[in-house]
Amino acid sequence: MNGVLPVSELAAAPRDAYGAHVLADLGGIAAYLLRDAPTLESILVKAAKQAGARVLSAHFHHFGGEHGVTGVVLLAESHITIHTWPEHRFAALDIFMCGNARPDQAVERIALDLQAEVKNLRTCQRGIAGSPR
């Protein structure tokens, strides 16, 4: 599996890593949600806080008309990003958190709030083996 863990096993991953990185592909989401930058920002900020992360800032951009949104929530513990394709009812998330923050909880909260019907999750522990912590 090359260091990739399902998100359900994230909590059991080695704690000597610097952080955990989750890539989440979410599908089956209502297109109107994937065009709504303020709602997406609210969902991601709430998820970050519930995961124990400290939000530093957020920036979201709607590409206009029927197009999607790209956004980033900058965290003291790293970041959450999203890019959406409303025409495909699809959102790609990148959640990287270090310290005691819990990216598994963030992705689950986001998927629930977006009412995602399909989830494809890939998780890896970040760090260099043998390097001092």
Query: What are the residue numbers of the active site?
Result: 78, 83, 98
Helix (H) or strand (E) holding 48: helix 37-50
Which of 90, 77, 83, 106 shows the shortest CA–CA distance to 19? Answer: 77
DSSP 54: -
